[in-house]
Amino acid sequence: MSYPEPRYHGDSGEPDTNVFRAVDHVPDLANDQAGSSVHYLATGQMTGGDFGLYRWNMGPGPSGPSPHFHRTMTESFFVLDGTISLYDGDGWKDATAGDFLFVPAGGLHGFRNNSGEPASMLILFTPGGPREAYFEGLHRIATTGVRPSEEEMAAFYLEHDNIWADVD
């Protein structure tokens, strides 16, 4: 494996192109009732489609998707705090701070907070698709109580490359 072809051809570097986000930045999405929030650390649009990086803070209540896969992207999970159950294709494993799971395209995976305590992780998607629309759609459903029809949900999941698996 080698480095990719250069994408920057200047000689001195570019000032003012980096993006800094302080730890106390307001979350991009928050569900106060569930105690959860999402921080868009680096979106696919921000990275030119290279990757998307999100901090996912989960409240103490049970939450998270059942096993599924993506056709167009990889997904990686790095647990920052608490205990998060990760589905790794073989079964559910309790992951704690410092644990990591890489999921290639097509790999079955899921995550849940079953611990009864808050938990936090980083989620990395490569390449960086428009995951914000997916997160925001789920947020609207969770916070407004408006439940789309089964057909509308199926179309929403398909649009956002979420294919549910018949395992659990």
- Six-digit token string for 145: 């109580």
Tens digit of pLDDT at every position of the chain (168 positions): 999 999 999 999 998 889 999 999 999 999 888 899 999 999 999 999 999 999 999 999 888 999 999 999 999 999 999 999 999 999 999 999 999 999 999 999 999 999 999 999 999 999 999 999 999 999 999 889 889 999 999 999 999 999 999 886
* Residue pLDDT, tens place only, 122-131: 999 999 999 9
The whole-model pTM stands at: 0.92
The Cα angle at residue 106 between residues 120 and 50, in degrees rounded to 5:
65
Decide: 112 and 101 in contact? Cβ < 8 Å. Answer: no
The answer, yes or no, to whether the previous bond of 118 is cis (omega within 30 of 0) is: no
> Would you say the C-alpha torsion 22, 114, 104, 106 has a positive or negative sign?
negative
Going along the chain from its start, the domains and CATH numbers come out as 29-164 (2.60.120.10)
Dihedral pair phi/psi, residue 34, rounded to 5°: -90, -15
Neighbouring CB atoms inside 10 A of 129's CB total 20
Decide: 85 and 93 in contact? Cβ < 8 Å. Answer: yes
